[in-house]
Amino acid sequence: MTPFFKLTLSASAATLFALTQAAPAYPPPRQVDACSILGGLNATDVTYQYVVNCYNAIPFDSKQAGTTLSTMLTIFKDFYVFTDSALSPTATRPFSVDPVDIIGELEKIGRTMYTSDYKFHTDISNAVTSLRDAHTDYFIDCYRAYSFAQKLSLYAPVVDGKQANSAKRNYDDCTVNTINGLDALTYVKNYARDVTDRSHDPNARLNFLLTTQGFNEEKGVFVDKEGDFSWRVTVPEAAYVDYQIQCPHLTQPVDLREEWLVFPQNDITFEDIDSYVTNVCLPSAETTPPHVENSVQLLFKPYPQIIKRAEPEPEPETVTPGHQYPGAEQFLAGNATVFYHLKDRPDTGVVVCHTSEIGDEERDVVVKGLKALNDCNVTNIIVDLQSNIGGYAGFAAFLADIFFPSSLPLPADLPSDIRVTKAIQQISAQGYNPSTAGFYDAYLYVNLNNGTGTERYQNNDLFEHPVTITRNGRTNLWTEKTLYYFEPVPPNYNAAVSSFTWSDKVSNIRLLTDGLCGSACAISAYCFTRRHNVTPYFIGGIHGEDLSMFSFAGAAMIGLSAVQSWYKQSNMTSPMADLPYRSVVSYSWLEMYGEGRTLPLEYDAELYSPTYRLDYTPTNARSRKALWNEVAAASWNQGV
Ligand SMILES: *[C@@H]1O[C@H](CO)[C@@H](O)[C@H](O)[C@H]1NC(C)=O
Ligand SMILES: *[C@@H]1O[C@H](CO)[C@@H](O)[C@H](O)[C@H]1NC(C)=O
Ligand SMILES: *[C@@H]1O[C@H](CO)[C@@H](O)[C@H](O)[C@H]1NC(C)=O
Ligand SMILES: *[C@@H]1O[C@H](CO)[C@@H](O)[C@H](O)[C@H]1NC(C)=O
Ligand SMILES: *[C@@H]1O[C@H](CO)[C@@H](O)[C@H](O)[C@H]1NC(C)=O
């Protein structure tokens, strides 16, 4: 059975015990409640139970809850683009999702009697999570003030023990038999099925739970990156995880009870429940002028930065940047792309794109990197998009299209539409000159029905003349199909790459992904595979089961605070009251379609299925280089 679970001490976690964070000396608390106990602790003494006790002690406030629920309902009734799609009673492979009636779920919360504020917000968060839409989040600072880490990270199958501390416990290369008494793989599969939200595909969600190799820009090398199973921003199910592991060097299995290590996510101090609510939960008293999003850019990256406090960067051994893999020379590292030449397969080059959160300046890096590979007589290219969870759509499309210069310029965006409701029509009427309508400004979109179909809207027809779409029994209004407007790629880019051996040759290009490739990265993967027919290889998941090659592909996200700022600058009353608690709430507001497709790409499961599948092995899980060689050998079967 593959994958089999093994575990190792991760380098980062291994250092956690030793670290302390200077905490201010608190005066004796005025009264002893669960939050005063928590607030009085040295940061290194905080445990799971102290945090849970304080969270549970926050009193339920029905007025605040009413405001919160009303705002969330309005988002999903009037703004969210997938409210109707989420009702779909069936999911085709590789997806597996139950229909979600998000409005019904929120209304059910509205009818529930709560005594715990924490329970109320957790229920909303769970309802939002059930959509499995990584662009749509309900993050409440009040209940994300601490993060939780396991010292053991899970791999499928394993990354070897190069960590300093591993000698102490020596659990590297051990197989995990059980987690909390259940077969380990079953436990993690269930967790992927029930708890995480990053894909409609449970196997892609499983990949998100495990440790991956992430590129450390500062060090210029790949390092182990804990997965969502061992690193939580919400409160775990219990104070510890029980593992039974079987190590090759021991005859008996070992039972481990691993407490969660707890890390404060901010420096805020508090001394009791009241001051916890005031200082941590409520918006800060000094009113910062609302941040107005004037330069709107299509951002697809769904996660706010999670701070792992009191922990230094894991020391990536003694690897010199660019010399991590003896058999792969690193030519050039930009801010999003890195270029490697495989020494043992001199005809093969690798382009790693580890983030798409990058501006147009990276285009020049890409051209420079490709030129360097061409100068080495490279003829075959592997594009490695593993673990890239998104960024900007403009760069995402460029990354794929630059390999096919004869077809440029192609639109950077896919056919798209937006919900149209009364609320959206009101704000969109504030478009143009100067616009105060943010993304609800028709000028940002291409009028596909006018002239050459490449010009922007010069009026508000997009929002004034919607079309009717019925999905899963609900009829609502949408804009006609449009494209988000991007400046066309200047022709000098085509010219710069047109003579390269692989250019326009689909047989010389391969794609490598892992299902974690999300959002803008998914647009790159879509463009490679569907627009240009590049063959994808994908890795991970459960052997023999389907796995998506990318996740949350078909939407753009916006934060509630940005939408509120557009209403404010338009001197309009938003239909959504500001949330009483400090929060990051975002939603998908624009949906895309695959070219020529009728189902929104987010739900168009067929487009997520890749061609070739690779399994993690003890070798390729330790080294991207080993993986590149596997893809190269399978693709251009002539390597050494
Ligand atoms: C916090 O704990 C560390 C380690 O035990 C200790 O060195 C430090 O003095 C403590 N800080 C406070 C404020 O008690
Ligand atoms: C990467 O980003 C840094 C900081 O923004 C910038 O100074 C540098 O020029 C960028 N590098 C490249 C290759 O674009
Ligand atoms: C590339 O091929 C050319 C022509 O065969 C040769 O002259 C040149 O030395 C090669 N360059 C490299 C870096 O191998
Ligand atoms: C269509 O294009 C023409 C010429 O570019 C422009 O004058 C007109 O306003 C456009 N109409 C719309 C609906 O954008
Ligand atoms: C909103 O009101 C302010 C102050 O009265 C005014 O300066 C501004 O132009 C108004 N904005 C719009 C979009 O009407």
Lowest mean pLDDT of 77-86, 176-185, 299-308, 349-358, name the range.
299-308
Residue 139 pairs in a beta bridge with: 584
Lowest mean pLDDT of 94-98, 430-434, 478-482, name the range.
430-434
Judge residue 585's burial from the number of C-beta atoms within 10 Å of its C-beta, 0-12 exposed, 13-18 middle, 19 or more buried. Answer: buried
Residues 248 and 288: their CA atoms lie apart, in Å, by 58
The DSSP letter of residue 517 is -
Give residue 493 CA to ligand 3 midpoint distance, Å.
Answer: 24
- Which residue owns the Cα nearest ligand 1 atom 1? 42
Residue type, 63: K
Q: Report the nearest atom of ligand 4 relative to the CA of 461.
A: 13
Does residue 200 surpass a pLDDT of 80? yes
Which pLDDT score, from 0 to 100, does residue 285 have?
67
Does residue 301 surpass a pLDDT of 70? no
Lowest mean pLDDT of 70-74, 455-459, 508-512, 635-639, name the range.
635-639
Q: Do you know the residue count of the chain?
A: 640
Give residue 377 CA to ligand 3 midpoint distance, Å.
Answer: 6
Residues 192 and 541: their CA atoms lie apart, in Å, by 11
The closest of 115, 140, 113, 114 to 126, measured between CA atoms, is 140
Residues 295 and 306: their CA atoms lie apart, in Å, by 25
CB 44 less than 6 A from any atom of ligand 1: yes
Residues 442 and 313: their CA atoms lie apart, in Å, by 44
Does residue 620 surpass a pLDDT of 50? yes
Q: Is the pTM of this model over 0.75?
A: yes
Calculate the average pLDDT of the chain.
Answer: 86
Which pLDDT score, from 0 to 100, does residue 294 have?
42
Does residue 557 surpass a pLDDT of 80? yes
The closest of 370, 400, 384 to 528, measured between CA atoms, is 400
- Which residue owns the Cα nearest ligand 3 atom 1? 377
Ligand positioned closest to the Cα atom of 346 = 3
The DSSP letter of residue 443 is G
CB 361 less than 6 A from any atom of ligand 2: yes
Write down all domains in the chain, each with its CATH number in brackets.
149-263 (2.30.42), 328-410+502-553+600-636 (3.90.226.10)
CB 23 less than 6 A from any atom of ligand 1: yes
CB 480 less than 6 A from any atom of ligand 4: no
Q: Report the nearest atom of ligand 5 relative to the CA of 436.
A: 13
Residues 78 and 226: their CA atoms lie apart, in Å, by 37
Residues 500 and 339: their CA atoms lie apart, in Å, by 15
Judge residue 63's burial from the number of C-beta atoms within 10 Å of its C-beta, 0-12 exposed, 13-18 middle, 19 or more buried. Answer: exposed
CB 42 less than 6 A from any atom of ligand 1: yes
Residues framing ligand 5 (Cβ under 6 A): 436, 570-571
Ligand positioned closest to the Cα atom of 567 = 5
The answer to whether 244 and 233 have CB atoms below 8 angstroms apart is no
CB 366 less than 6 A from any atom of ligand 2: no
Does residue 336 surpass a pLDDT of 90? yes
Alpha helices, DSSP H, located in 195-296: 202-209, 273-276
**End-to-end CA distance of the chain, in Å?**
30
Sign of CA dihedral 543, 90, 520, 495: positive
Q: Which residues lie below 8 Å from residue 189, measured CB to CB, with a gap of 6+?
A: 202, 206, 542
Does residue 418 surpass a pLDDT of 90? yes
- Which residue owns the Cα nearest ligand 1 atom 12? 42
Sign of CA dihedral 122, 128, 131, 132: negative
Per cent of the chain over pLDDT 90 is: 68
Residues 447 and 485: their CA atoms lie apart, in Å, by 9
Q: Residue 72: CA atoms inside 13 Å, Cβ hemisphere, count?
A: 33
- Which residue owns the Cα nearest ligand 3 atom 11? 376
Phi and psi at residue 600, in whole multiples of 5°? Answer: -55, 140
The DSSP letter of residue 435 is -
Which pLDDT score, from 0 to 100, does residue 319 have?
60
Q: Report the nearest atom of ligand 2 relative to the CA of 335.
A: 1
The closest of 122, 131, 66 to 98, measured between CA atoms, is 131
Residues 314 and 211: their CA atoms lie apart, in Å, by 14
Q: Report the nearest atom of ligand 3 relative to the CA of 377.
A: 1
* Structure tokens, 447: 């009028």
Residues framing ligand 3 (Cβ under 6 A): 376-377
Report, as an integer, the average pLDDT of 89-115: 94
Which pLDDT score, from 0 to 100, does residue 142 have?
97
Q: Report the nearest atom of ligand 4 relative to the CA of 450.
A: 1
Report, as an integer, the average pLDDT of 383-397: 93
CB 334 less than 6 A from any atom of ligand 2: yes
User: By three-state DSSP, how is residue 441 classified?
Assistant: coil
Residues 358 and 301: their CA atoms lie apart, in Å, by 11
- Which residue owns the Cα nearest ligand 1 atom 10? 42
Which pLDDT score, from 0 to 100, does residue 297 have?
52
Lowest mean pLDDT of 212-226, 293-307, 325-339, 493-507, name the range.
293-307
The answer to whether 481 and 448 have CB atoms below 8 angstroms apart is yes
Ligand positioned closest to the Cα atom of 43 = 1
CB 122 less than 6 A from any atom of ligand 4: no
CB 457 less than 6 A from any atom of ligand 4: yes
Ligand positioned closest to the Cα atom of 333 = 2
Pocket test of ligand 5: the residue of 292, 430, 571, 573 to mutate, having most ligand atoms within 8 Å of its CB, is 571
Q: Does the bond joining 157 to the residue before it have cis omega, within 30 degrees of 0? A: yes
Which pLDDT score, from 0 to 100, does residue 638 have?
57
Among 250-254, 304-308, 503-507, 546-550, which range has the highest average pLDDT? 503-507
- Say how far residue 410 (Cα) sits from the centre of its chain: 26
* Structure tokens, 157: 């199958």
List, for residues 140-178, the tens digit of each pLDDT value: 999 999 999 988 888 775 433 333 334 456 777 688 889
The closest of 137, 192, 198 to 550, measured between CA atoms, is 198
The closest of 120, 161, 165, 139 to 19, measured between CA atoms, is 165
Lowest mean pLDDT of 73-87, 187-201, 581-595, 607-621, name the range.
607-621
Give the distance between the most distant pair of CA atoms in the chain. Answer: 76
- Which residue owns the Cα nearest ligand 4 atom 7? 458
Does residue 287 surpass a pLDDT of 70? no
Which pLDDT score, from 0 to 100, does residue 123 have?
98
Residue type, 79: F
CB 317 less than 6 A from any atom of ligand 2: no
* Structure tokens, 138: 């309900």
